[in-house]
Structure 1
Amino acid sequence: MPPDPTDRHSRHAALALGLALPTDVLLYLLLPMYAPQFGVTLAEAGVLLAANRLVRIAGYGWVADFYARHGDRRTCTLAVAGAVGCGLGYAVLSGFWALLPLRLLWGLCFAAFNLSTQALATADPIGVARRSGRSRAFIAMGPVLALPLGALLAQWSGPRAIFWLLTVSALLGLVAARRLPATPHSVAAPVRRFQRPNSLDGWSFMEGLALDGLFIVGLSYLGKDLLPGSAVVVAGLLMAMRYLSEIALSPAGGRMAERFGAERLLVGLSLATAIALVGFGLGWLWSCAAMIVVLRALQLPLVAPIVAHRTPGPQRLQALAARSTWRDIGAGAGPMLAGLLLPVAPAAWIYGAAALLLAAAALGCGRSASRAVRAAD
């Protein structure tokens, strides 16, 4: 039996992103540890790591409109070309103002990739959670190989050389991008640009702030002080474990969501993540970091099925973009907060506060889902 076209298209979009993504994730590992070699301070590094998220807050609407009009093939092909340019720039350019345009460019490229992978994974309502989990696994394949290699190469020859190899990896993403469908997508009528955030928006914001911002930068910054000789390798391995967990566990998270319900699973995993964040801030750095990356991998496939369930039909694309925007607001604020707070405030306070807010946001999602069920009954 030939493979389902929806599964095939979802896989190709995920592969295109997986081959381009290492040009970004290696910067999260190397920039905080090697900020002087890139010609920036730690605070400037935090802004650079946040910039790709912040530009998407303003640019997601434009990217979504372009994606809907031009389809997956052209959109992802342009995104791959942008990733290639970013990889070359990270290899040769130094200084805040030279690197900032590259971070803004990558932000728009990732927005295009993200919309394509989520829209194609949710195109068929049958098997959405399973397909979303598999998509996350394919996306993680590139980073899980690149992070340990980049850490070892950085220790041996500095933080720049790995980006030449990552540029070649991004180029290979063209093969997958050119196999995507070229047909445009139907969208609902435009809605008001800024709307009051719902409970899922709040959770997306806190998940981005805590896990994609504070945690990732803190892992690199705090690990440097605990293991000054080999911190880059250990941090690289842990960040690779984050993506390896996605390969192994995101499909499992999708299957668990189909069995137990995505909203219920999101609440339970988020509360467990909050506990691990408290331990991370109290000094159990490596063990709690390992717990966080595993729990994050299980959570990643949950948002797309929840959105598809709550907003079926043409509104789905706009709803996916809205959730991604709120996550990006949090993930954009996270590195800047980390760059400002970690040198001056106790880690226990920073990560304890983040844990409390994440737990509150998760419980809010649970209450919202319960009210929806009671209203349906």
Structure 2
Amino acid sequence: MGDTYLYAVLPTQSVSLHVPELWVGFLLSINRFIRIVANRWILPFFNRFGFYRLTLVASGTAVISTLLYGVSAHLVLWIFARLLWAFSYAILRLSSLSYSLETRQKGLSLGLSKGIQEIGPLLALLLGPVLGSYGSPHTTFLWLGGLSVLSLIFASRLEQRTHKFSTQAPVFSFVPGSFNFLVFLSAFFIEGLLVVVLGRLFQSESTAPLELLGLVAFYLAFRRVSLFAISPAAGFLADRIGLNTVFFLAMSLSIVSLLSIGLGFYTPGIIGCFLANSVSSALGPGTLGGDAETRLHALAANLSWRDLGAALGALAGGFLLGFNSIQPFFLIATFVLALALLFYYRSINHPVYKYGSN
């Protein structure tokens, strides 16, 4: 909850939060870059402490990070809070995916997990402004941190998992396999680049600043709602027609939607991108092969490539803001993602891509 509200309030109220304006972008992006490394670095701790205990601790540190937002009066404390959140989120995300993949109905479980994860951010976006009207941003973070304590109750009710995974992690390759390359590109173009350039797509001399802000807020809210509502339904469908089938359809919709944006049909293109991404991001991990002992390494690698794609995409989006027209870049994105999807499905049975860990 705290992380979502921070993205909304820090760019506009950095002075009130005692954050120099030049450090705003750094604080908002550092957690994603840290997770690229943390996704693999935390794996041995699952074996040492167990999924249950590590998840419970991560839930607690996530709450602490939000409370720190409410008391931080120095840049160093802000950086510490963001690092704490980065490691907490890495553990919670990997744990939730691992628990979901242990069930028979993997699609539904993955979809529900993704949908439930979006309840907190949605509540933060709804309650944050209301709470903020009665106090300072610091006070709002303290309230959100207090509400987040409920996560400890849910974490304490998780099942104890006794089995351990293999400690022989595959060597990480800086050249991704076909599946992770596809995930990287999807995150780059949709989770990173598109989110950053939304306002630029609709910007014109006749568009009032308030109207532009409203459009961007609407599409970002739609993205959250689609993750919350569409992911479980897609998971239910995936258990009936297959995870790979639904994943392929979602990626195909991403390609068509990027093409729509490139041709100037912004509204259907953006909606299609966010709908497709809500499905592919939720169900993608379920297409990874391997047993319980090797799957966690594949998940960690896959999440790292997704985080890297989104982070670099956001940086690229910031660079594109300086161009007069950015439509041609979405036509290029369409072509590149289509080739990656074709390459993945042609190599899906090749042993080197079996676990999708690279």
State which of 271, 277, 291 in structure 1 corresponds to 2:252: 271
Match of 1:366 among 338, 342, 345: 345
Structure 1 residue 315, shift from structure 2 partner? 0.6
TM-score (ref. length: structure 1): 0.79
1:203-214 equivalent positions in 2, closer than 5 A: 203-214=182-193
| Greater mean deviation of Cα atoms: 258-267 or 48-57 | 258-267
The equivalent of 1:130 in structure 2 is: 108
Q: Displacement, 1:317?
A: 1.2
> C-alpha distance in 2, partners of 1:274/1:190?
37
Larger deviation, residues 242-251 vs 326-335: 242-251
The answer to whether the 8 Å contact 2:257/2:273 transfers is yes
SS of equivalent residue, structure 1 residue 186: coil
Residue 266 (structure 1) shift: 2.2
* CA shift in 2, pair 1:141/1:262, >3 Å: same
Match of 2:49 in 1: 70
- Show the counterpart of 1:323: 302
Structure 2 residue 171 is matched with structure 1 residue 171: no
So what's the TM-score if we normalise by structure 2?
0.82
1:312 aligned to which of 281, 287, 291: 291
8 Å Cα contact 2:285/2:302 also seen in 1:
no
Contact 1:64 1:115 (C-alpha < 8 Å) held by counterparts: no
Q: Distance in 1 between matches of 2:200 and 2:73?
A: 20
Q: Is the 8 A contact 2:56 2:152 kept in 1?
A: yes
Matches within 5 A, 1:97-136: 99-124=78-103, 126-136=104-114
1:78 Cα deviation (Å)?
A: 2.1
Q: How far apart are 1:31 and its partner, in Å?
A: 4.2
Letter in 2 for 1:248: A
1:223 Cα offset (Å): 6.9
CA, structure 1 residues 370+58, in 2 after alignment: closer, same or farther (shift >3 Å)?
A: closer
1:145 equivalent to 2:127? Answer no
Alpha-carbon deviation of 1:173? 0.8
1:16 matched to which residue of 2?
none
Q: How far did residue 279 of structure 1 move?
A: 4.2
Contact persistence 2:31–2:85 (CA under 8 A): yes
Query: 1:351 and 1:185, CA in 2 relative to 1: closer, same or farther beyond 3 A?
Result: farther
* Alpha-carbon displacement from aligned partner over 1:180-239 (angstroms, at most 9, x marks no partner): 234444112413431342111101211222222222333367678855226555544433
For structure 1, the residue ranges without an aligned partner over 5 or more in a row are 1-21
1:175: Cα distance to partner? 0.7
Greater mean deviation of Cα atoms: 294-303 or 218-227? 218-227
8 A contact 2:34–2:83 mirrored in 1: yes
What is the number of equivalent residue pairs in this alignment? 348
**Post-superposition offset of 1:258:** 2.8
Correspondence 1:350-365 to 2 at 5 A: 350-365=329-344
Q: CA RMSD in A?
A: 3.3
Taking the aligned partners of 2:146 and 2:296, their CA distance within structure 1 comes to 31
CA contact (8 A) 1:87 1:167 kept: yes
What does residue 341 of structure 1 align with? 320
Q: How does 1:134-283 map to 2 (within 5 A)?
A: 134-150=112-128, 162-195=140-173, 196-219=175-198, 226=207, 228-229=209-210, 234-280=215-261
Deviation larger for 319-328 or 196-205 = 196-205
Identity of aligned residues (%): 28
> Could you tell me whether the CA contact under 8 Å between 2:238 and 2:246 is conserved in 1?
yes
Q: Match of 1:203, as an amino acid?
A: L
**Equivalent residue number for residue 3 of structure 1:** none
Q: Secondary structure at the match of 2:168?
A: coil
Aligned-pair CA distance for 1:96: 6.3
Aligned mates of 1:146, 1:165 — CA distance in 2: 10
